[in-house]
């Protein structure tokens, strides 16, 4: 009956292996659900009125080379929008949300964000000197390399966003100088 024992062992091993595979798949499905729910939560925050307004102010600052004076509501909207973007980058780095989902949705905005981001982030007399926001910078750099064939990136749109970001960054840093004479924040 040695053959029977061998078959029994084989069936036992197969069942144990199947149990491991099923539990691994369950863990992966549950992790994917958690990531989806975290992604929806941060998307809701990203698309809230205040954060959206702050983001628009960053784009405008990147184009004009000027940022609202320190201490104003608009300046704090900008700081908040950058902080939430940085948080999104941190979530992506930690795997709390999938980075591919983040880049898939946000790559055009991240590409357009560069000039305004640099202007605010490197402002020496800002409330967060040398803060750097490395997770946001990482997202911006990945977005600039992101390969997309959809309408958001065709017909030269991607190139226009990237070249505007590069062109405005230098201008923005020059134009930043008068802001240094702005009064200190009062709040």
Where along the sequence are the contacts to Zn ion (CB under 5 A)?
A: 148, 150, 152-153
Q: At closest approach, how far in Å is the CB of 55 from Zn ion?
A: 17
Q: At closest approach, how far in Å is the CB of 146 from Zn ion?
A: 7
Helix (H/G/I), strand (E/B), else coil: 96: coil
Q: At closest approach, how far in Å is the CB of 153 from Zn ion?
A: 3
Q: At closest approach, how far in Å is the CB of 149 from Zn ion?
A: 8
Residue number with CB closer to Zn ion (33 or 150): 150
User: What phi, psi does 98 have (nearest 5°)?
Assistant: -80, 125
Exposed e or buried b for every residue in 31-46, given b needs 16+ CB within 10 A? eeeebeebbeebbeeb
Measuring CA to CA, how many Å separate 177 from each of 52, 59, 70, 75, 182?
A: 27, 19, 13, 16, 10
Residue number with CB closer to Zn ion (155 or 174): 155
Nearest to 75 by CA among 119, 10, 20, 113: 119
Residue number with CB closer to Zn ion (65 or 165): 165
The C-alpha atoms of residue 47 and residue 181 are separated, in whole angstroms, by 33
Residue number with CB closer to Zn ion (96 or 153): 153
The C-alpha atoms of residue 139 and residue 136 are separated, in whole angstroms, by 5
Q: Which residue's entry shows tokens 């020496």? A: 124
Two structure tokens written together for 11: 């069936």
Residue number with CB closer to Zn ion (76 or 101): 101
Q: At closest approach, how far in Å is the CB of 48 from Zn ion?
A: 23
């Amino acid at each position: 009956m040695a053959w029977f024992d061998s078959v029994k062992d084989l069936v036992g091993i197969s069942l144990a292996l199947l149990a491991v595979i099923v539990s691994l798949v369950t863990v992966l499905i549950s992790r994917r659900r958690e990531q989806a729910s975290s992604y929806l939560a941060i998307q809701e925050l990203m698309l809230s009125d205040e954060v959206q307004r702050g983001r628009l102010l960053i784009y405008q600052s990147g184009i004009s080379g000027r940022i609202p004076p320190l201490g104003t509501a608009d300046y704090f909207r900008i700081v908040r929008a950058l902080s939430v973007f940085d948080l999104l980058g941190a979530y992506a780095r930690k795997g709390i949300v999938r980075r591919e989902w983040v880049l898939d949705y946000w790559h055009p905005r991240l590409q357009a964000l560069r000039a305004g981001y640099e202007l605010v982030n490197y402002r020496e007399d800002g409330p967060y000197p040398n803060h750097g926001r490395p997770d946001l910078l990482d997202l911006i750099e990945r977005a600039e390399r992101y390969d997309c064939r959809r309408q958001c990136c065709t017909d030269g749109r991607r190139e226009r966003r990237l070249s505007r970001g590069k062109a405005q960054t230098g201008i923005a840093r020059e134009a930043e100088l008068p802001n240094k004479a702005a009064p200190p924040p009062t709040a």
